[in-house]
Structure 1
Amino acid sequence: MVCTDSSLNALRQVGDELADATVATLFERGEVGTFNTLMRYVSTSGQQLPDGLPEVAREYLHVTSAPPHWVDWDEMERARLFFLDNDVHISTALSFASMPACYLVPTVAKLLSATHALHYPSKRMAETGQFTVYLMQPGAFEAGSRFVPAAQKVRLLHASIRHHLSVEGRWDTATLGVPICQEDMIGGQMMFSLQALDAMHRLGVHMSEEGADAYYYAWRVVGAMLGVDQDQVPRDLVEARRFSDLYMTRHMGPSEEGAALTRQLIDLYEEVVPGTLFDPVVSALIRHLVGDTCADWLQVPRTPWDVLVRAVPAVLGVLETLEGHSPLAAWALDRVGHLTTAFELSSLTRGRVMHYAIPEELKKEYGVTTTVPRTRRWTPPAPTVL
């Protein structure tokens, strides 16, 4: 695909036609409360829909109940195995690189601020973490899984934010484009896929080309389930680099909202880290992964750990050497990674299942085998010359 300023400008005027029409009808008929109440009992694929569910919602859930027809299931299995082998690295990349990347785009930071997510970052992080774990479970698209209902609800949640901001006149569409527009949704897809891989590479994580390709492919499937126009989405990581570079160059910069969101994110993870001695690691890790310029824009504090955190790639290299030479070490490291990810998610959710509901108004409480060989190691596509 060829992405230009003109083509991306066009994507700023487009939302999600199916989800937007569904949400608009639910509000027009006063059925949002009924929908939210009944959908709390729908949490797994293949579950019988409850009686009394609004017809427009029933039709939407039927149409969006299956993954796109083009899914390559072998590739999805490779993505799942990649996730299992790198779960703690992926969680680190999503938390300390992908989320700050969102805050580097002032319009996105403004959107999160407008929906009061500014004051409740734990909800946003918990929803993101839970959603990713659902995706990478065996049989994520089969009956009994939690991923598809979560994707259906998140898609409607995004549509409801567009509805509220537009109806209430709280968003300058002429200047900023449609809230949660196609360009920003594709940009977000890049942050959680390509830019997460970039962060893992910066940490010194060894990834195969096949694993990186599969991980990116899985997020293409996620994007399709969330209403992203896949005709406009880069097909591979080389195309993704061009889109990501152009998108970030067009939009990234400092903003008060971005700095405030980052401060909330740092505070949140400092609470998760036991004690206070290692609190500065959070800021140091963000600065290491996003770079000094972006970290300064986000007002990430400098700490003595900024130098020490650069040793992470060397430490990971030693651990991967142990993993490659000892099945017991590989098992132990995989268990530690799994438990670390589970602890992080449990801390964010406080042990609760996160529900994705359509907000009736933007209330304050809402916040919008697999050991990888060292051969064929994935390296990021070269930056685009713009």
Structure 2
Amino acid sequence: MNYTEASMAALRRAGDELADATVATLFERGEVGKFNALMRYVSTAGAPLPEGLPDVARAYLEATSVPPAWVDWEEMERARLFFIDNNVHISTALSFASMPACYLVPHVAKLLSAAHGLKYPSKRMAETGQFTLYLMRPDAFEAGSRFVPAVQKVRLLHASIRHHLREENRWDVEALGTPICQEDMIGGQMFFSLLVLDSLHRLGIHMSTEGAEAYYYAWRVVGAMLGVDQEAVPATLEEARRFLDLYMVRHMGPSEEGAHLTRQLIDLYEEVVPGTLFDPLVSALIRHLIGDTCATWLHVPRTPWDTVVKAVPHLLNVLETIEDRSPLGAWALDRLGHLTATLELSSLTRGRVMHYAIPDTLKKDYGISSAAPRIRPWTPPPATVS
């Protein structure tokens, strides 16, 4: 697929027709409160929908209750195994590369700061971690799983933010396009897939091409369920590189909102890390994964750990070699990774199941085993935009 300035500009005008129409009707009929109250009881796939649910919401939930017909389930299983093999590294990449990358896009950072939940960064990180964990469970799309309801609610959450910003004339559509537009949703999909793979490569993690492609494919499935137009989504990692390079060159830059959100993220993880000795590691990891220029735009502080963290890929390379050569070592490291990722998530969620709801209002002021046969080692597609 050939991405151009014109094709990207067209994506800025498009939202999500189904979710947008559903949310607009709920607000028009004054049924948002009833919907939110009843949706707390909709947490597992296949469960009967509660009595009294607004008709428009019921129609939406029924229409979005199954994954796309084109899903390749063998590829999804490869993605799940890839996640099991790399879950702690993926969690690191999501926290210290994907989230800061969102803040590097000024209009996205401005939009994120409009949501009440961003006052509490642990909530957003907990939601992201729990969402990914639900996705990578073997029963993610089966009756009783929590993934499908989570996707349905996140999609409506996005639509509600679009609704508020447009209805309250708090978003310059002519200059910025539709809030949470197709271009930004595809960009977000790239942040949570290709950028994660880039970060794993930068950390020295051993990956097969097959595993990397499967992980990217899983996020294509997620994107489709979140209302992202798959006709416009890069089908391969090479196409994804072309899209992401152009997207970032079009939009990335410094902003007060981006710096503020990054500071919240750093403070959050410095609280999660026991003691204070390793606190500077948080900033050092962010700088290592997103680069000096981007880290400076986000006001990520420099620390003595900036040099130390460069040894991390060498250490992880040793551990990955042990994992490759020893089944027992692979099992032990996978278990350690699982326990570490679980501990990190539990510290963010505090044992709670994260719920999503349509906000009545926005903030008044905003601005500020083996995953796959390791046959072909994966290397990032080359940059396409200088």
Q: Same fold (TM over 0.5)?
A: yes
| Alpha-carbon offset, residue 325 of structure 1 | 3.0
1:33 is matched with 33
Q: Which residue of 2 aligns with 1:293?
A: 293
1:152 equivalenced with 2:144 (yes/no): no
Q: What's the secondary structure of 1:86's corresponding residue?
A: helix
Aligned to 2:69: 69
Partner SS for 1:233:
coil
1:351 Cα deviation after fit:
1.2
- The CA distance in 2 between the partners of 1:242 and 1:302, in whole Å, is 31
Does the C-alpha gap of structure 1 residues 170 and 371 become closer, same or farther in structure 2, counting only changes over 3 Å?
closer
The question of whether the paired residues in 1 share the 8 Å contact of 2:283 and 2:300 is answered with yes
| RMSD value, Cα | 1.3
Residue 303 of structure 2 corresponds to which residue in structure 1?
303
User: How much does 1:349 deviate?
Assistant: 1.0
Whether the 8 Å CA contact 1:26–1:56 is kept in 2: the answer is yes
Which residue is equivalent to 2:321? 321
Q: TM-score, normalised by structure 1?
A: 0.97
Give the equivalent residue in structure 2 for 1:384: 384
CA contact 1:281–1:309 (8 Å) conserved in 2: yes
Q: Shift of residue 119 of structure 1?
A: 2.2
User: How far apart, in 2, do the equivalents of 1:96 and 1:252 lie?
Assistant: 17
Shift of 1:117: 4.3
The one-letter amino acid of 1:362's match is L
Say which SS state the counterpart of residue 113 (structure 2) adopts. Answer: helix
Q: Distance in 1 between matches of 2:371 and 2:185?
A: 32
- Is 2:238 the partner of 1:242? no
Aligned residues: 383
Give, in whole Å, the separation in 2 of the partners of 1:220 and 1:191.
12
Counting only pairs closer than 5 Å after superposition, residues 24-173 of structure 1 correspond to structure 2 as: 24-173=24-173
* In structure 1, C-alpha distance between the alignment counterparts of 2:373 and 2:107, rounded to whole Å: 41
Give the structure 2 partner of residue 274 of structure 1.
274
Q: Deviations over 1:21-50 (max 9, x none)?
A: 000000001111111111101111100001
Supply the AA of the counterpart residue of 1:87.
N
CA distance in 2, matches of 1:189, 1:326: 34
- Name the aligned partner's letter for residue 309 of structure 2: V
Secondary structure in structure 1 of the residue aligned to 2:242: helix
Unaligned runs of 5+ in 1: none
Unaligned runs of at least 5 residues, structure 2: none
- SS of the residue 1:191 aligns to: helix
Match of 1:221 in 2: 221
Instruction: Report the counterpart of residue 205 of structure 1 in structure 2.
Output: 205
**Take 2:286 and 2:238, find their aligned partners in 1: how far apart are those partners?**
25
Q: CA 1:33 to 1:147, structure 2 compared with 1: closer, same or farther past 3 Å?
A: same
Q: Which amino acid aligns with 2:142?
A: E
Mapped partners of 1:358, 1:161: distance in 2: 8
The amino acid across from 1:26 in the alignment is L
Specify the alignment match of 1:263 in structure 2.
263
User: In 2 relative to 1, CA 315–111 (structure 1 residues): closer, same or farther, beyond 3 Å?
Assistant: same
Residue 372 (structure 1) shift: 5.7
**Whole-angstrom distance in 1 between the partners of 2:142 and 2:208:** 28
- CA displacement at 1:9 relative to structure 2: 0.6
**TM, length-normalised to structure 2:** 0.97
How many angstroms does 1:210 deviate by? 0.2
1:373 shift after superposition: 5.9
Deviation at 1:219, TM superposition (A): 0.2
Task: Give, in whole Å, the separation in 2 of the partners of 1:147 and 1:271.
Answer: 28
Q: State the partner residue of 1:14.
A: 14
Moved more, 146-155 or 329-338: 329-338
Contact 2:79 2:371 in 1 (8 A): no
The equivalent residue for 1:180 is 180
Q: Following the alignment from structure 1 to structure 2, what is the Cα–Cα distance between the partners of residues 375 and 219? A: 23
Q: Deviations over 1:49-74 (max 9, x none)?
A: 01100000000001000101110000
Matches of 1:95 and 1:371 in 2, distance apart? 22
Question: Hey, what's the Cα distance between the residues in 2 that align with 1:374 and 1:148?
Answer: 31
**Residues 284, 309 of structure 2: 8 Å contact kept:** yes
Query: 1:348 maps to what in 2?
Result: 348
SS of the aligned residue for 1:114 comes to coil
Cα distance in 1, alignment partners of residues 373 and 232 from structure 2: 33
Q: Is the 8 A contact 1:118 1:260 kept in 2?
A: no
Deviation at 1:260, TM superposition (A): 0.5
Amino acid at match of 1:92: T
Deviates more, 1:26-35 or 1:109-118: 109-118
User: Matches of 1:374 and 1:46 in 2, distance apart?
Assistant: 37
Distance 1:371 1:99 in 2: 25
In structure 2, what residue type is equivalent to 1:141? F
Identical-residue share of aligned pairs (%): 78
- Contact map agreement 1:284 1:305 (CA 8 A) in 2: yes
* 8 A Cα contact 2:78 2:371, kept in partner: no
Query: Residue type matched to 1:58 in 2?
Result: R
